[in-house]
Every structure is written in C-alpha cells, then in structure tokens.
Chains A and B, each alone.
Chain A
Amino acid sequence: MAYSTRKASENVNIHVAADSLVCESATIVGHVTIGSRTIVHPRAKIIAKDGPIIIGEGNLIEEKASIINKNPPGVDGSSPLIIGKQNVFEIGSEFEGKEMGDNNVIEAKAKVSPLTTISNGCIIGALCEVNNCEKLENRTVIYGESCTRRKMAEDPPSQQQQSDFLKKILPNYHHFIKPKMKSST
C-alpha cells in the first residue's frame, strides 16, 4: 500500500495533545487523535483507513510500528480504533485490531489481526501473530515460536522513565507536529 508522502504536519485531521511528541517523519493518514504524553517516533505509521483512530495518554509508538484501522473481512462501514493508556508498540509491530486497553506491550515485529481486541496488561511477544477472533483477557502473555500463552501475575513494567528521557532528548534531533489549540468547552 503506498500512502502519500505528504508530511504529517500537512494532515489537517490530526489532533495532537499539548505535551505529546509526534515526529514529523511519522506517516499519519486520516482522522487521528493523539493523547497527552504520547511519543510517536520517526517512521511510525498510523493510518486511519476505515475510521478514526483515537490514541490515549502516555503511549510509546516506536519506529516502523504501524497502527492501521482496517475492517475485519466481511465488515463494512467505519468504526473507530481506540487505544488506551501507557501502551508500548515496539519496533516493527503491527496493530490492526479495533480496541486496546491500558498497559499492553506489543513487542518487536509482532502482529495483531483486525479480528482481535486486547484488554489490559497483555504482552504480545516478538515475532508472534495473533489471528483469532477473540478478546485477549487481562494480563495474557503470548510468546515463543508456537505463540504459547500464559497469564502474568502483574502488569508489565511502566515505561515512564523511558518516556521522560525521550522527552528530553528527542526535541534536539527531530521536528514535531505542533499541537492544535482546541477551543475549550
């Protein structure tokens, strides 16, 4: 799929919260709302193809990660893709589901199909694929070559320290999309 190489800052449909950092070289297409304290690294892809994408607070979206709002096969119409707080999308991960809760980690090169929804505290291990039409329960871990599952006793560790560090050094090297001033209601 080739998307236009317009700079993300020219996309008028992005709403970026005040203290989030969204790199200009990220590919952002369609109606996308990005919550506060979220960091979007360069070369990330957020594509709202079949509906808007709403990303919560404190998320970390690394380079080559893609979040695509794509309808599952057989479903038409547009519906929003909602992502909660404090999630981590590592390098090269692909998330195409419709909903994600809080505190999840999608590790490098993992894939989540349009049929799956993820609740809270889950970890999808590196190179794993989740294709089933299901809602993953809280604190599920998917790992290994055959995508075995187990449950965790506690949530994945918080990325707060990394987010703080990135907030300090990323502005020295990258340009960011300027947050829009929303009229107060």
Chain B
Amino acid sequence: MDLEFESYGSGTYIETASGNKVSRQSVLCGSQNIILNGKSVVQSNCIIRGDLASVRIGRHCVIRKDSVIRPPFKKFARGAAFFPCMIGDHVYIGEGSVVNAAQIGSYVHIGKNCVIGKRCSLKDCCQIADNSVLPPDTVVPSFFVFGGTPAKPIGELPESTQYLMTDATKQFYKRFQAN
C-alpha cells in the first residue's frame, strides 16, 4: 500500500516534542483533552473537537486535510454525554472525512470523503472505502473492507495488513518534511 507523499512549507506546521506534526491551520478545540501519542500528522483545516470529550490518537497516525474528528454523543441510563473517541496506532484518515466513531482500532485505513457515523466501532486492520457512509453504531470487523451508502462489506484484507499499514504510515511520516 502506498500513500502519496507530501511536503509542507516550513513554518506552516508545528512540531511537538514527541514528533507530532500539526498544521497551524487546523483547529484543535479543547487541546488539553486531545492526546497525540507521537509521530502523528494532522494536516491543514482539520477540526478535532477535544472540547466535547477526550480524543486519544495513537502513534504514526495520518489525518489528512479537511477531516473532522468529533466524539459521539451517547445516551446513557442516567442522562447523556459525549463519549471519548479512541483512535489506535498507524491509522490513516483520508481527506474530508467525518469521523464520529467511538473507537477506531489500529492499522485502519479510512478513505476520502467518508462519513463514519456516531458510536461506530472499527476494529483493527479494517478499511473503509472512499465516499462511504457508516450508519450509527456500526461495528466493522477486522480484515474487512466496507464501502457504499450504507456501508456493507465489499472485500477482504490480507493478513499482512498490519505490516502494510505500519510501513505506509511510517514512510509517510518520514517523507513529510518541511520544504
């Protein structure tokens, strides 16, 4: 699996101590509740809503432009609240996607322009095709490709997906340098 490589104008991205590269044009609301575990890339015009609930993003994640990560709203027996959003390591989120999921495992590839519905749960090593819509509360099992509106299984992934995603995201981070 190959992701397109990019570079950025120097000064347009902030590099944190743990190696995260966050665009200055992205909006991180409630940044004290957002945890980026290290070497992740957040490109321009992304919106991460840490003000609603905590958002935890793993290592070597790539969040492309115009994406929105927003914790889902859940009604409990005693009232309702926004539920924390946990994203695993080596996750790739394509351009323009809206992620409302409660939990995304590791080694997940989310395509462009997707809508991941509220409270969805994406297990490790799955893939969401471009332009798909996952209805709320969908559980996507490991090693499956989901696509369409509403998203249904459209394919399977090889057992080496974990290593493919690890390589792809690590290479992306390595090549994502300032001009």
Interface residues of A (CB under 8 A from B): 25, 42-43, 62-64, 91-92, 107-109, 125-127, 143-145, 161-162, 165-166, 169-170, 172-174
In the assembly, what is the distance between CA of A74 and CA of B96, in Å?
Answer: 32
Across-interface contacts of B133 in A (CB, < 8 A): 108, 125-127
Do residues A126 and B47 form an inter-chain contact, with CB atoms below 8 A? no
Q: How far is the CB of B106 from chain A (nearest CB, A)?
A: 25
Q: Which of B51, B70, B113 contacts A173 (CB 8 A)?
A: B51
Mark each residue of chain B from 76 to 120: 1 if its CB lies under 8 Å from any CB of chain A, else 0: 000111100000000000001010100000000000010101000
Tell me if A109 and B82 are in contact (CB < 8 A): no
Answer yes or no: B150 CB below 8 A from chain A CBs.
yes
Inter-chain residue pair count (beta carbon < 8 A): 65
Interface core residue of B75, B100, B133 (most chain A CB under 10 Å): B133
Selected from B27, B75, B117, B150, the residue in CB contact (under 8 A) with A42 is B27
Indicate if the CB atoms of A108 and B98 lie closer than 8 Å: yes
Closest Cβ of chain A to B53, distance in Å, is: 9
Q: A92-B98, A161-B75, A161-B80 are in contact. Are A173 and B47 (CB under 8 A)?
A: no
Contact A91 B29 (CB under 8 A): no
B164 contacts A by Cβ under 8 Å: no
Q: Please determine whether B68 and A91 come into contact, CB atoms closer than 8 angstroms.
A: yes
Q: List 9 A-B contacts (CB under 8 A).
A: A42-B27, A63-B47, A91-B70, A109-B113, A126-B115, A126-B117, A126-B133, A161-B75, A162-B80
Contact flags B45-79 to A (C-beta < 8 A → 1, else 0): 00101011000000000000000101001010001
User: In the complex, A173 Cα to B53 Cα: how many Å?
Assistant: 12
Interface check B149, CB cutoff 8 A: yes
- Across-interface contacts of B81 in A (CB, < 8 A): 165
Contact B51 A174 (CB under 8 A): yes
B52 touches A169 (CB 8 A): yes
B68: contacting residue among A92, A161, A165, A174, CB under 8 A? A92
A144 to chain B, nearest CB (A): 6
**Chain B positions within 8 Å of A108 at CB level:** 98, 100, 115, 133
CA distance A42 to B47 in the complex (A): 9
Q: Which of B52, B98, B149 contacts A91 (CB 8 A)?
A: B98
State whether B51 touches A162 (Cβ < 8 A): no
A91–B79 alpha-carbon span in the complex (Å): 24
Q: A107 to B149, alpha carbons, bound, how many Å?
A: 13
The reply to whether B51 and A126 form a contact with Cβ atoms under 8 Å apart is no
Roughly how many angstroms separate A126 CA and B68 CA in the complex, as a whole number? Answer: 15
Q: Chain A residues near B51 (CB, 8 Å)?
A: 169-170, 172-174
Chain B: CB-nearest residue to A145: B149
Residues of B within 8 A of A165 (CB): 73, 80-82
Q: How far is the CA of A25 from the CA of B49 in the complex (A)?
A: 14
B80 contacts which chain A residues (CB < 8 A)?
A: 161-162, 165
* Besides A43-B47, A125-B133, 9 other A-B contacts (C-beta < 8 A): A63-B49, A63-B68, A91-B70, A126-B133, A126-B149, A144-B150, A161-B79, A169-B51, A173-B30
CA distance A139 to B51 in the complex (A): 33
Q: With a CB–CB cut-off of 8 A, which chain B residues contact A43?
A: 27, 47
**Which residues of chain B from 140 to 179 have a CB within 8 Å of any chain A CB?**
148-150
**Is B131 in contact with chain A by the CB < 8 A criterion?**
yes
- Nearest-neighbor residue (CB-CB) of B117 within chain A: A126
